[in-house]
Chain A
Amino acid sequence: MASDNANLPGGKITFLLFFALVNFSFTIGIHNDNFSEELYVKPFSSGHVMFHFQFTTVWNVSIDKPESFQHYHLFPKSLGDVLTTYKVKELHLSQTQGLWKHEKWGYPPEDAPPGDELWVWFQPHSGVDQTWADLVNALSGLFCASLNFMDSKSTVQPRWSFRPAGLASEFYSANSRFVRYSTLPREVVCTENLTPWKKLLPCGSKIGLASLLNSVKIYDGFYHSLGVHVRSVCQDTQCLTPATELKQTLTVVYDPTTNKNGKQDWSFQSMFDRTLQSQCPLADTRKIYVDVTTQETLPKFSLSPVPDFVLNQKRSGEERKIAVYQIGNHLSPSSLNLKAMYEEKLTFSNSSLPPVYANRFVTGYGLERGGVTCMIYNTMSSNTTVIFMETVPWFLRVYFSSLRIENDGKEIKPYKINFIPAKDRANPYQMELVFRLFANSVTKITYSFERAFLKWTEYPPDANHGFYVSSAVVSTVLPVASQYTATSQSVSLLEESFSDSSSSFFLRLHTETLLVSLPTPDFSMPYNVICLACTVVAIAFGSLHNLTTRDFTASDPSKRKGLVAKLKSFFKKEKESPENKPDSKEEEIPSQKDKDNSKSEEKDSKKKDGNSET
C-alpha cells in the first residue's frame, strides 16, 4: 500500500484514497460475521413432535484475542463482554425442563440434562477457580438463573468426558485444569430464562423464527431445552484463522395426539398459537426443515404448504428425507402456518431403539444406606467404548469399594478410572470410568452410598422433598448415525449436517437425575436440643465439681433442714434483710413500730443504757 501511495501524485488524491481505505477496512470490520436461523421439525413414532430452533452467529474474530472483541454487530455484546472478561475459551450452557426419552425419541440435536448444565473451557491462566466463581455469577445475572450456586460443592473438572467441542490446541485435550463442569439438577427453567435468551438474538423476538417462541405454549410442552454454545470454529475450509461461533438452540417437544383426537397433526398455529409473519433480515440462512422420512409409512401425512424441495440425504448410510422451506418464499401473500395433516390416528408401536442409551435409578430403602444403578444399553452389533461420568454430592458418601461394572453377570474391568472422593461441604464425588460395551448387551454400573446427616441449616426449605443428584453423562463415538440429529462438529449449520459421510459420531447423553431423601432432624427445636444437651453436661460438671471440691464431714442429722425448711428460711431472710441491720443491739430493740428519727433512737438507747446500768 505504501508503494502505491508513493506512486500517486497530489495530496488530495492521497487523502481520498486513505479515506477510502479506512472506510473499506471499517466496513469489513462490521460485516465479518453472519447469522442463520433454522428450524428443524421431527415427528416421532411415539406421537410427539420435536421443534428444534437453532440460531447461529459466526463472527470471524478469535476468542483467544480479547482485544479483537470490538465493534459488535450481530454477536451479543452482553455475552461477548462476559466471555472476554473471564477468559473463556468455550462455553456451553443448557437450561432444560423435562427429560429427553432416548428410547422413544432417539437423540436430540443438543443433549441436555434436566435443570441447568454449564461447562466452560478457560484460556490458560492461573486462578481458574476464582474466574469460574466470577463467571457463574455474571452468567446467573445474564440468564436469570441460579448459576451462582455452582460453587465448589457441585463443580468438577472432568478429565475425559468434556473435551473442547470446537477448535482448540492439543494443549487442552491433555489438560483438565482449565475445564469446569457443573449442574443444577433442581433448577426450574421458565419464561424468565427464555426472555434473556431471546435478547441475545440479533433480530430479537419480534421478527424471524424467534417470533414463534411464545412462552405460554413453549412451557406447555413435554420437554424444552434452551442452549447457548460458544466455541471456536474455522473461518474457512483451510482453517488458518479461527472464528467464534455462538449457537443458540431451543428444543421443544409436544404431544399433539392428546388434543387432536389421537392424530399427530401439528401446525405452527396449534403448537405456538401464532404463525410465522416475518423473517429476520439480518440472517443469511432462513430455513425450515421437516423430517419426512416416515411420511410414506403409516400413518401417512402431508405437509402444507408444499415444501420448496425434498432432500434425499444419507448420513453414514442412513437415508433421510428432509423437506426444506425457504422462509422468504412462503410469507406472501399470507403468513406461514406450516401444517402436517395425518390421514389416520396414531398407532402406538415399538419404536426402533437408538444404538446406545442409558437409564439410572436409586436402589435400597430407608434413610441410611442406598445405591445407584445405571444400565447402559448397546443395541448395536459391535462393541463400543464409553466414558461414564458421575458427579455425586458429598452428602451421599459413595463407597468406591462397592463400584461394580457388570455385563451379563460378568464383572468388567474398566480401562481407566478417575475417582475423586468428596470432602464434606467442599467438593463432590467425581467418577469417570472408561470401559467396553459389548454388542447387543446391557452393562450395569452399581455403587452404594451412605447418607450423611446434615446440619439443620443445610436443608432446603422443603427438606423432605429430597435432594437431587445430577445426571450421569455417557460419552461415546458411534459408528452409525442412526437416530443421530446433532450438528456435525466440523460445521455450524443444521443444513450442512444432513449429509455426512463420516463414520464416527460423537455422542454425549445424559441420564435421569435422581431424587434422594436424606434423614432430617426436627427443625422445630434447636433451643430445646441445646438446652437438654447442655443440661446433661451440667449434670456431669456439677457432680464432678461437687465431689472434687468438697470434703466429707460429719453433721447432726437433726440440724439438717429439709427442703421446705430451707426454702422457708431463705424467704424469711429475704423479707427481713432490708429492715434488719447487722447490729448487735438490734435484738435488744423491743419494737420498731414507732418510726422515730435518729435522735429519739439515741434517746431510747440512752434510756436503755440507763436501764441496763440500773
Chain B
Amino acid sequence: MVLPTAISFVCGVILRLALFRSSLPDWLSTKTEVVTPLTSWGRAMEGLALHREGISPYSGDIFHESPLMLKILGFISRFSPNTINLIFVLLDIIQGMILLRIANTFGRHMLLRQATSVKNYHPDAKKNLLRKEDLMDLQFYVTVAFSFNPYSIATCLARSTAVFNNIILLLALYQMLKGNSFLSAVFVALAAYISMYPIILCVPVAVHYFLMSRKGGMHYTDPTAVVSYLQILGVTFVSLAIMLLFSMLFVGSWEFIPSTYGFILGVPDLTPNLGLFWYFFTEMFEHFRTFFICVFQINVVIYTIPLAIRLREHPTFLFYMLLYTIGIFKSYPGYGDVGLMFALLPLWKHVYQYMRNTFVTVCMFLVCTVFAPIQYYLWIYAGSANANFYFAISLAFSTAQILMATDLLFGFLKREFYLHNGDKHKLPDGTDAQIILDS
C-alpha cells in the first residue's frame, strides 16, 4: 500500500497547486462557509497593515488572530502572493505528513491496546478484532481522505489561517499517540491559545497519560490518578499562561484578550457561516442574549464530561469526539474544522459497519455543500431569496455533522459491546435477541 499512498499524496499536492492557478482561490476566500472572521486571510492582512502603520490591530474589530499568529502571518506576508500560495500548499503537505504519522502510530497503538484488553473479550469476538493488515491500509485511506477532501482543499485554497490550528491539533494527537503526553499537553495549550475551545482536549490527554502509567486495576478516581490528571492540566495551563504572558509582552497590552477570546465568547460578529450561532443571535431577543450566549457556549464544552466518563478507556476516540463537537458547536465554524474531521475519519474505519445513517448523512453533506453558496448568492447578490434559505442550509449541515458524530459514537459503543459480549445473542429460550440501548 505504500505506492498508492504516495501516489494519492502527490496527486493531492498537484491538485492544490493546479487549483491555485485557477480563479477558485479568490472565490473561496470570500465564502463565509470556508473562512470565518477568525480565520480570514484578508482580515489577517488588514490587521498586519494596521500593525505596520503603528495602529494596534486590536483597536479595531477586523483582526482577531492571537499575537503569535500576528507574528507568523507577518513573516509569511512578506513573500510574494505566489510564494504565499506555495506556503499554504506546504502547510497542507505538513498536515498530510502528520496525518500519515498519526495513521501509522494509531495502528500500532490500537493493536497494542487490543493486545492488553483481548483477555476481557468474548470468545466469539475473534473476527471483530483488528488485524495488522487492516491497519496497514489506514495510511492510504487517511491520505486519500485528506488529499481529495473538498473541505481541506477549500481551506487551503482560501488561505484560511485555520490551517495552523489544524496542524497544532494534529500534532497534539500525534504526540498523544506516541506517548509524549506532556508535549501533547503543550500543543493542546497552543491550540487553545489560538482558538480557545481546544482547551477541553486536555481531558483526553490527561486520561491517556493516566492509562499509560496505570498499574494493575487502579481506578479512575484513585488519588494517584487524580495526581496524573493534575500534572497534565498543570502543564497545559502553565504553558497557556506563559504564551499569554509572552503575547502581552509582544503587543504591549492585554487588549488582545477581548479582541480574540472575547470575540469568540461574545459572538459580536454575526457573519453567516454553517454554524448555529449567527442567525440565532441575529434574531435573539435582546434581554435573553446573554443567557443564550452562555447556554450555547456551555453547550460546546459540556459534552466533555459525559464523553470522558463513557469513553474513559478510549482517550483517542474521546479526543476525536471532542474535536468533532468543537467543530460543530464553536461560535465561528468553518470548512477547516470539517476538513480535519473527515481527514481523521478513516481511523475509525473498523466502526463503519456498525453505523446506521451513513447514506443519509453523506447525502446531507453533499446537498448542503452544494447549496450553501447558491443560497448565499441568492440572498446577498440576487436578492431573490432571504436569510432563511441560507439558515436552513446551515441547520441541515449542522444536523448532518451531529448525525455523523452520534452515529460514529453509536457504532463505536456497539462494537465495544460486541467485543465484550460476542455478536451472537440468544435469549434464554434460544431465539435471537435484539441489541438495544437501555437505561
Contact = CB atoms under 8 A, between A and B. Distances in A.
B434 A552 contact: no
A551 B283 contact: no
A452 to B, nearest CB: 7
A56 B48 CA distance: 51
Given A540-B402, A557-B434, A452 B269 contact: yes
Interface stretch (A99-107, A300-308, A453-461, A602-610): A453-461
B269 to A, nearest CB: 7
B417 A549 contact: no
A533 interface: yes
Contacts of B436: 552-553, 555, 560
Interface size class of B (residues with CB under 8 A): 35 or more
B60 A536 contact: no
B129 interface: no
Interface in A535-555: 536-537, 539-541, 543-555
B341 to A, nearest CB: 15
Contacts of B268: 424-425
B437 A422 contact: no
Contact of B381 (A365, A397, A540, A546): A365
Contact of B281 (A455, A519, A546, A557): A455
A543 B406 contact: yes
Contacts of B399: 536, 539
A347 B325 CA distance: 75
Given A532-B395, A548-B309, A521 B283 contact: yes
Contacts of B45: 401
A456 B283 contact: yes
A519 B432 contact: no
B59 interface: yes
B297 to A, nearest CB: 12
Contact of A456 (B46, B282, B306, B325): B282
B398 interface: yes
A366 interface: yes
A544 B307 contact: yes
Nearest to B268: A424
A369 interface: yes
Contacts of A546: 437
A554 B424 CA distance: 10
B433 A557 contact: yes
A367 B328 contact: no
A122 interface: no
Given A421-B60, A548-B306, A526 B438 contact: no
Given A455-B284, A540-B402, A552 B427 contact: no
A540 B406 contact: yes
Nearest to A547: B409
Contacts of B371: none
B50 interface: yes
Given A537-B276, A539-B399, A421 B391 contact: no
Given A540-B328, A548-B306, A556-B434, A453 B439 contact: no
Given A366-B380, A394-B61, A400-B50, A547 B413 contact: yes
A110 B362 CA distance: 67
A22 interface: no
A417 B49 CA distance: 13
B42 interface: yes
B192 to A, nearest CB: 22
Interface in B274-296: 276, 278-286, 296
Nearest to B321: A544
Contacts of B328: 540
Contacts of B128: none
Secondary structure at chain A's binding surface: helix, strand, loop or mixed?
Answer: mixed
A589 B275 CA distance: 61
Contacts of B285: 526
Given A399-B62, A521-B283, A540-B402, A549 B306 contact: yes
Q: Which of B279, B386, B421, B432 is the most central at the interface, judged by chain A CB atoms within 10 Å of its CB?
A: B279
Interface string A504-539: 000000000000000111100110011011001101
B310 A547 contact: yes
A535 to B, nearest CB: 8
A421 B59 contact: yes
A465 interface: no
Contact of B406 (A547, A550, A552): A547
A557 B12 CA distance: 48
B121 interface: no
B15 to A, nearest CB: 28
Nearest to B282: A521
Interface in A157-198: none
Contacts of A369: 30
A556 B55 CA distance: 71
A520 B303 CA distance: 34
Given A455-B270, A526-B283, A537-B296, A555 B433 contact: yes
Given A367-B381, A553-B436, A556-B434, A423 B61 contact: yes
A392 to B, nearest CB: 12
Nearest to B272: A453
B328 to A, nearest CB: 7
A543 B433 contact: no
Given A400-B50, A401-B46, A520 B387 contact: yes
A426 to B, nearest CB: 9
A34 to B, nearest CB: 49
Contacts of A341: none
A20 interface: no
Given A455-B282, A522-B386, A544 B438 contact: no
Contacts of B405: 540
Contacts of A555: 433-436, 438
Contacts of B62: 397, 399, 421
B73 to A, nearest CB: 13
Given A401-B45, A547-B310, A548-B307, A530 B438 contact: no
Contact of A541 (B299, B380, B391): B299
B266 to A, nearest CB: 10
Contacts of B269: 424, 452-453
A361 interface: no
Nearest to A365: B381
Nearest to B426: A554
A540 B328 CA distance: 10
Given A547-B310, A552-B417, A557-B432, A526 B381 contact: no
Nearest to B406: A543
A394 B309 CA distance: 46
B133 interface: no
B379 interface: yes
Contact of B439 (A367, A425, A454, A550): A550
Nearest to B302: A541
Contact of A419 (B42, B55, B433): B55
Interface string A360-374: 000001111100000
Contacts of A557: 432-434
Contacts of B280: 529-530, 533
Contacts of A525: 283, 388
Interface in B402-436: 402-403, 405-406, 409-410, 413-414, 417, 421, 425, 427, 431-436
Given A530-B280, A541-B299, 11 more contacts: A368-B381, A423-B60, A455-B284, A521-B387, A543-B402, A544-B303, A549-B439, A550-B437, A550-B439, A555-B435, A560-B436
10 contacts: A399-B42, A401-B46, A453-B271, A525-B283, A533-B279, A547-B437, A551-B437, A552-B414, A553-B435, A555-B434
What 4 pairs between A and B have smallest CB-CB spacing? A421-B60, A401-B49, A554-B433, A548-B306
Interface of A: 365-369, 394, 397, 399-401, 417, 419-425, 452-457, 519-522, 525-526, 529-530, 532-533, 536-537, 539-541, 543-558, 560
Interface of B: 30, 42, 45-46, 48-50, 53, 55, 59-62, 268-272, 276, 278-286, 296, 299, 303, 306-307, 309-310, 325, 328-329, 379-381, 383, 386-388, 391, 395, 398-399, 402-403, 405-406, 409-410, 413-414, 417, 421, 425, 427, 431-439
